[in-house]
Amino acid sequence: MKLLPIVAALAVTSAGAMALAPPSFAQLPSSPAEAEKQLGITAAQKAKITAINKKYQPKIQVLQKQMASLNTQYGKEMETIFTPAQKAKMKQWQALQAQQQQGGGMGGAMGGKP
Whole-structure pTM value:
0.51
Judge contact between 12 and 82, C-beta under 8 A: no
Residue ranges per domain, the chain? 30-81
pLDDT reading at 114 higher than 50: no
pLDDT reading at 12 higher than 50: no
| Distances from the Cα of 62 to the Cα of 2, 45, 58, 89, angstroms | 21, 26, 6, 34
Return d(Cα 35, Cα 46) in angstroms, integer: 12
pLDDT of residue 27: 84
Tens digits of residue pLDDT in 25-75: 678 899 999 999 999 999 999 999 999 999 999 999 999 999 999 999 999
